[in-house]
Structure 1
Amino acid sequence: MSEIIQTTIAGRTLKVDYGKIGRLSNCAFFISYGDTVVLINANASDKPREGVDFFPLSIEYEERLYSVGKIPGGFIKREGKPSEKAILHARAIDRPLRPLFPKGYRNDVQVVCTVVSVDQDNAPDILAINGASLALCMSSIPFTTPVGAVSVGLVDGKFVINPGLEERSKSSLNLTVCATDERVMMVEAGGDEIPEDTMYDAIMFGFEECKKIVAFQKETMNKYGKQKEEPELYKVEESIEEEVRKFAFQKIKDAMYIMDRDERNAALEDVDKELNEQFSEKYPDNGSDIADVVYKIKKEIVRNMMLNEHRRVDGRAFDEIRPISCEVGILPRTHGTGLFTRGLTQVMTVATLGSLGDVQILDGVGTEESKRYIHHYNFPSYSTGETRPLRGPGRREIGHGALAEKALEPLIPSEDQFPYTIRLVSEVLSSNGSTSQASICGSTLALLDAGVPIKRPAAGIAMGLITSEDLSKEEIVTDIQGIEDFFGDMDFKVGGTEKGITAIQFDTKIHGLSENCIRETLNRARTARLFILDKIHKCIPEAREELSEYAPKTYTMSISPDKIRDVIGAGGKVINKIIAETGVKIDIKEDGKIFVMSEDSSSAKKALKIIEDLTREVKAGEIYLGKVTKTTNFGAFVEILPGKEGLVHISKLDFTRVNKVEDVVSVGDKILVKVTDIDNQGRINLSRKDAIKDSEENNSKENSSKENNLKQNK
């Protein structure tokens, strides 16, 4: 059975083509919005995966370059590993869906979203979230709470749902809202310093549209969905849980009430040893069950402490930020460094300035082809005092780096203001919560230390939440540490300046956030952000006036666009020769702007002079110091500017008759010549004797002027 199911969202048709394709998948369909089409497939294993203590959900977001009529670059000519954007989109799909599965469900679940056609006015990532939710709802997988997703723009002071390409280029806000019909599940935002009230209104505006999408999904699920399987949920045997609780609850509670982190962890390790001695012989095959009970006990204690006793694990007030310190210039040979410490969380960011030719080339389905501001984030095992093999960045590292990049991007000066490629690398040196937000702070310090004239400093803060089982009670906490993130209900990250918000990322472990919680969190995050910005300002109030002596210097000039070919030359011969002679880097834009970069100013000026000469127009009547390149029996050819030669006829070489050209000049000689004529074919006629005559007359005038000045002075 093939069915076309559709609805209208923001004036455009959202269509699901179900039953035609992927008939061996649990659920498969094409979902389209405009000409953007995503293929969705959802499947689950028949049995729970054994030996795991987590829900093995896998969300894959696959971009096919044929969707935008491109052939992949490189030698292999096929798609490889997912792009960073694809990884970020997969994370955005995962975060709102994961909390809505039944607790204890441990079957492998995989949702694959394959982008097969892209209309740039309709974003495939938003479509994929809606498609993934609908596929899970229509499948036999035990998922019954649909979520809707929209993007929200702010164009000319008005909110726009799912803005098109032109609207996105004008929008000061790029917001993704994902929600059930009752609560907001996930928000991703990047903005140009958006005020808190405006951001809240935008989230609520998107929330209302999400409700319509959820209603469509529910109707579709009820009409076409499969019978849901009865899930086999993992649960610890009651007898084991009762014994472990009776033996360990008070011991764990006593340990959890120790404020010092190291002492607390040491006490908890002692409890683990006692548990092992007590139960290893009786329950040799139930280690994971015992660990699961211990986790639940810790979670109960922490949540009760915060929700009912109004006390945090480390004794701080709910709105109190851990001690902060800021330093800059800590590495001697880098272009800029910032070291930001908040409690036991510490991040060092290093800024590197490069030429515009160092931009990152992007090969994806979007319209962006390159970027000159890049932020990378590294989270090594030593940051938590652990050991594990060092690998490339995972999804978490890529996500945290992208969030910090988004927070600072609106503040980076334009190419015209600051013609450099900027790369930031945040190294997490110590982690106890909120390292992504510490990266924003460390990056601000590094940019200022590097002399980058950012619009304003930015800072980030992570907010947490503890709720009661029925969600009737909730406590919001500022600057969450690791244990509060681990046992809490949300991680609400807000980055921005004193003026407004530049980035948000939040997700929850519960069934969404209330409207009041969102508003209050935004306001408290602002208070915390201003506190941190004051610390940054006291460390380094503004960008350094001069770049590091080890940073390359950029010099700019402009030429007529039709002269670009003269600078580049056939096959890049001319520009490569300039680079070889001077050791500089040269970037040329289509509008004729030229950027020359070098650590040595004299080399840069030499390159600029060569380019200037290459692009100068030869004019009749001007005198040049040229170089003889060739002699003939009728005259000498002289190069007066790079690539531009003229002929000095033998009769124009000297004031007396010349029998042989070589009697006056030889190849390699530098001589003064005057342009006497440029014919219709562009051939340049030169005269040595006219240049000498003009020079002598000028010298005579100068000497006469000097004599007159001397007489007047006497």
Structure 2
Amino acid sequence: MSETIETTIAGRTLKVDYGKIGMLSDCAIFISYGDTVVLVNANASDKPREGVDFFPLSIEYEEKLYSVGKIPGGFIKREGKPTDKAILHARAIDRPLRPLFPKGYRNDVQVVCTVVSVEQDNLPDILAINGASIALCLSSIPFNTPVGAVSVGIVDEKFVINPGLEERKKSTLNLTVCATDERIMMVEAGGSEIAEDVMYDAIMFGFEECKKIVKFQKEIMDKYGKEKIVPELYKVDETLEQEVRDFCFDMVKEVMYITDRDKRNDELDAVKQKVDDEFKEKYPDNGADIAEVLYKIQKEIVRNMLLNEHRRPDGRKFDEIRPISCEVGILPRTHGTGLFTRGLTQVMTVATLGSLGDAQILDGISSEESKRYIHHYNFPSYSTGETRPLRGPGRREIGHGALAEKALIPLIPSEEEFPYTIRLVSEVLSSNGSTSQASICGSTLALLDAGVPIKRPAAGIAMGLITSEDLSKEEIITDIQGIEDFFGDMDFKVGGTEVGITAIQFDTKIHGLSKECVRGALDGARKARLFILDKINACIEAPRKELSKYAPKTFTMNIAPDKIRDVIGAGGKVINKIIAETGVKIDIKEDGKIFVMSDDTESAKKALKIIDDLTREVKVGEIYLGKVTNITKFGAFVEILPGKEGLVHISKLDFKRVNKVEDVVSLGDEILVKVVEIDNQGRINLSRKDAIKDSEKKESKEE
């Protein structure tokens, strides 16, 4: 059976081809929007995975360079590990889908979204979220709640659904909204300081469009969907659970009301040991089940404490932020550093300035080819007091770094204002809630310390949520710490300035957020953000007026675009010679703007003079200090600028009659000459005696 189903979204056709590809997958579809096509395959294991206490869902997003007519770079010439963008898109698919699977479902589920054709007007990542939802709904996998996803832009102060490439260039907002037909599941946003009211309206605008996509999916599901399997859900034996509860519930409750985190953890470890000693003989093979019951008890107690008793584990008010401290310049040889501490969360960010040639080259399917502002985030094991092998960044680290980068992008000065590549590295030194938002704050401090003229400081905060089972009751909390994040229902991260929002990322563990919750979280985040910005401003009010003495200095000049070839030379021979002689870095733009970077000012000035000489036009009447390069019977050839030489006829060498050229000049002499003529063949005629005469007149006037 092969079916093609279509609907219209934002005036363009969304099409699903089902039943003609991937015959051995549980479900395989082509989903297309314009000329953008994503292949989606969904499969699940027959039985639950043994020995796990989580749902093993795997979302893969693969970018094929043939989708944009590219051949991969490098020696191997094939796609390798996922790009950072592909990882971010996979996370964006995972977050709204994961909470909608049945609780206790522990079968391996894999959804693979392969981008096979890309039209830049229609984003494949948005299409992949919709495709993953459709494939799961059509499959036999126990997934019954479809989600729709759209992007929202603001062009000429109007909201636009799924903006095209040119509209995205003009848009002040890059927003992704994913929702069911009842509640919002996920939001990703980057914007140019968007006001809270405008951001809320944009989210709601996208929400309404998501409902249309969900309705379309439900129609497909009802008509073509496979019969859903009845899953084997993991559940702890009721007798065991009751015995563990009876034994330790009161002890756990007493411990969870301890406000000091370290003391609470120590006492909790002691309770766990008592439980282990009590049940290890009766239930020797049920250690994981006992741990599951203990987790459920802690969760119940903390959620009840927050929702019904209006009390936080550390005793704070619901809108209270933990103690904050800010420091700058703590590392002596780096270009800029910021240390931000909020409670037991601490992040150090280090700023490094480089040449424009240090910009990151991007080899992917998007239209973006490079970026000069880079943000990296590291989360080592010591940040939580644990031990584990140190490996490369995982998906979480890449996601957190991208979020902090997104929050600061609108504030970074343009290349014309600040001709540097900027790299920030956020090192998480201690983690107890929202290190990604702490890295925004630490990065602001580092940029200011480095002397980067950012538009204004930015800060970030994470908001949390606790809801009742039926979602009828909810409480929003500000500046969530680890225990509230662990047992809560939402992680709503908002970064921005005093003017507005620059980045949002939220996901949920429940079946979505209400409109009221979104509104409340945005308002609470603004209040907290302004409080943190006051702390940052008290530490450092403005960018330092001078760069670090260890940072390279950049000098700029402009030349005519048709002179670029003279600076570069055949095979780069000329520019490489300049670099070798001066030790500088040189970047040349297509419009003729040249950037020279060096730690030594004199070396930079020397390089600029060489380039200026290479590109200057020789003008009649000007005097030059040139070098004699060749001597003939009828005169001397003098190089007045690099690659440009003219002839001083023997009659123009001196005021008196010259019998032999060598009587006046020798090979290698530096002499003053005046350009007296440039003939129609471009040949330059020079005069030494006219240059001497003009110099004498000038000296006489000065005297």
Give the structure-2-normalised TM-score.
0.99
In the alignment, which residue of structure 2 is the partner of 1:430?
430
TM superposition shift of 1:650:
2.6
Give the match for residue 339 of structure 1. Answer: 339
Alignment-derived partner of residue 69 in structure 1? 69
Aligned mates of 1:663, 1:388 — CA distance in 2 = 82
SS in 2 for 1:116: strand
Moved more, 682-691 or 311-320: 682-691
Of residues 357-366 and 667-676 in structure 1, the stretch that sits farther from structure 2 once superposed is 667-676
Query: Which letter does structure 1 place at the counterpart of 2:255?
Result: A
Secondary structure of the 1:452 match is: coil
Q: Which moved more, 1:242-251 or 1:319-328?
A: 242-251
- Quick check: 1:410 aligned with 2:406? no
AA aligned to 1:179 is A
Structure 2 letter corresponding to 1:50: E
Give the corresponding residue for 2:145: 145
Q: Cα distance, 1:323 vs. partner?
A: 0.1
Moved more, 176-185 or 544-553: 544-553
* 1:479, distance to aligned residue in structure 2 (A): 0.1
Which deviations, in whole Å up to 9, do the C-alpha atoms of 1:242-281 show, x marking residues without a partner?
1111111111111111100000000011112112211222
Instruction: Tell me the equivalent position of 2:519.
Output: 519
**CA offset digits 1:349-393 (Å, max 9, x no partner):** 011111111111111111110011110000000000000000110
Matched, 1:117 2:117: yes
* Counterpart AA for 2:189: A
Identity in percent: 85
Aligned AA for 1:293?
V
Q: Secondary structure at the match of 1:122?
A: coil
What is the alpha-carbon distance in structure 1 between the residues aligned to residue 530 and residue 47 of structure 2?
51
Corresponding residue number in structure 1 for 2:452: 452
Aligned with 1:564: secondary structure?
helix
CA offset digits 1:429-471 (Å, max 9, x no partner): 0000010000000001111111111111100000000001011
Q: Which amino acid is 2:455 matched to?
A: K
Distance in 2 separating the partners of 1:131 and 1:588: 43
Deviation at 1:314, TM superposition (A): 0.3
Counterparts of 1:526-675 in structure 2, within 5 Å, are: 526-675=526-675
Residue type of the alignment partner of 2:358: D
Give 1:710's aligned residue: none
Partner of 2:60: 60
Partners of 1:209 and 1:698 lie apart in 2 by: 77
Letter of the 2:518 partner, please give it: I
Q: Please give the alpha-carbon distance, in whole angstroms, between the structure 1 residues aligned to 2:102 and 2:701.
A: 98
Gaps of 5+ in 1: 707-714
Please, what is the CA RMSD of the aligned residues?
Answer: 1.0
Question: 1 CA distance for matches of 2:273 and 2:417?
Answer: 61
For the residue of structure 1 that corresponds to 2:499, the secondary structure is: coil
Q: Which moved more, 1:7-16 or 1:276-285?
A: 276-285
Per-residue CA deviations over 1:25-71 (Å, capped at 9, x if unaligned) read 00001000000000000000111111111100000000001111111
Which residue of 1 is the match for residue 273 of structure 2?
273
For the residues of structure 1 that align with 2:161 and 2:622, how far apart are their CA atoms?
A: 63
Counterpart of 1:216 in structure 2 is 216
Query: Partners of 1:562 and 1:377 in 2: how far apart?
Result: 42
Q: Which residue of 2 aligns with 1:440?
A: 440
Look up the equivalent residue of 2:161 and give its one-letter code.
I
Aligned-partner Cα distance in 2 for 1:377–1:416? 27
**Corresponding residue number in structure 2 for 1:293:** 293
Shift of 1:326: 0.4
- The residue type equivalent to 1:575 in the other structure is I
User: What is the distance in 2 between the residues matched to 1:682 and 1:282?
Assistant: 102
Between the aligned partners of 1:234 and 1:622, the Cα distance in structure 2 is: 90
Q: What is the match of residue 373 of structure 1?
A: 373
Look up the match of 1:358.
Answer: 358
Secondary structure in structure 2 of the residue aligned to 1:368: coil
More deviation in 642-651 or 378-387?
Answer: 642-651
Summarize the alignment of residues 477-496 of structure 1 with structure 2, pairs less than 5 Å apart. 477-496=477-496
Once residues 657 and 109 of structure 1 are traced to their aligned partners in structure 2, the CA distance between those partners, rounded to angstroms, is 98
CA–CA separation in structure 1 for the residues paired with 2:96 and 2:336? 38
TM-fit CA distance, 1:666: 2.0
Query: Aligned letter for 1:229?
Result: I
Unaligned 5+ segments in structure 2 are none
Taking the aligned partners of 2:211 and 2:675, their CA distance within structure 1 comes to 78
Match in the other structure for 2:385: 385
Aligned to 2:504: 504
How do 1:299-314 residues align onto structure 2 when only pairs under 5 Å count? 299-314=299-314
Structure-2 residue corresponding to 1:44? 44
In 1: Cα distance, 2:290 partner to 2:635 partner: 100
- 2:279 is the alignment partner of 1:282: no
1: CA distance, partners of 2:292 / 2:666: 92
Which segment is superposed worse, 648-657 or 559-568? Answer: 648-657
Amino acid at match of 2:574: V
* Structure 1 residue 623: Cα displacement: 1.1
What is the aligned partner in structure 1 of residue 187 from structure 2?
187
2: CA distance, partners of 1:261 / 1:202: 39
Give the equivalent residue in structure 1 for 2:685. Answer: 685
Instruction: State the secondary structure of the residue aligned to 1:272.
Output: helix
Name the amino acid aligned to 1:352.
Answer: T
SS where residue 629 of structure 1 aligns? Answer: strand
Q: How much does 1:157 deviate?
A: 1.1
Residue matched to 1:711 = none
Determine the C-alpha separation between the residues in 2 that align with 1:210 and 1:183: 10
Helix, strand or coil at the partner of 2:475:
strand
| Distance in 2 between residues matched to 1:367 and 1:394, nearest whole Å | 25
Find the aligned partners of 2:270 and 2:100 in 1 and give their Cα distance: 35
Q: Distance in 2 between matches of 1:385 and 1:661?
A: 84
AA at the equivalent of 1:455: K
**Residue 228 of structure 1 aligns with which residue?**
228
In structure 1, distance between residues paired with 2:478 and 2:533: 15
User: What is the CA distance between 1:572 and its match in structure 2?
Assistant: 1.0
Q: How far is 1:602 from its partner?
A: 1.2
2:168 and 2:525 map into 1 onto residues whose CA distance is: 27
Whole-Å Cα distance in 2 between the matches of residues 428 and 29 of structure 1?
41
- Structure 2 counterpart of 1:329: 329
Deviation at 1:657, TM superposition (A): 3.6
Compare 86-95 and 593-602 and name the one that shifted more. Answer: 593-602
Indicate the SS of the match to 1:309: coil
Once the two structures are TM-superposed, the CA of residue 644 in structure 1 deviates from its matched residue by 0.9
Residue aligned with 1:119, SS: coil
1:9 equivalent in alignment to 2:12: no
Query: CA deviation digits over 1:409-431, x for unaligned, max 9?
Result: 00111111111111110000000
Paired amino acid for 1:617: E
Where do 4+ consecutive residues of structure 1 move more than 4 Å?
A: none
Q: Distance in 2 between matches of 1:457 and 1:20?
A: 53
Superposition deviation, residue 686 in structure 1 = 1.4
Give, in angstroms, the shift of residue 653 of structure 1: 2.2
Deviations 1:62-90 (A, max 9, x none): 00011111111111111111110000000
Which amino acid letter does the alignment assign opposite residue 39 of structure 1?
L
Matching residue's letter, 1:76: I
Q: Which amino acid aligns with 1:440?
A: I
Aligned length: 703
Match of 2:400 in 1: 400
Query: 1:162 maps to which residue?
Result: 162
- Matched position secondary structure for 1:666: coil
Q: Whole-Å Cα distance in 2 between the matches of residues 520 and 538 of structure 1?
A: 28
Q: Distance in 2 between matches of 1:308 and 1:71?
A: 59
Q: 3-state DSSP class of the match of 2:229?
A: coil
Q: What's the CA shift string for 1:614-663, capped at 9, x where partnerless?
A: 11110112111001122233322211011111122233223334343333
State the distance in 2 between where 1:431 and 1:229 align.
41
Residue aligned with 1:480, SS: coil
- Indicate the SS of the match to 1:198: helix
- 1:694: Cα distance to partner? 2.3
Superposition map of 1:90-105 within 5 A: 90-105=90-105
Matched residue, 1:252: 252
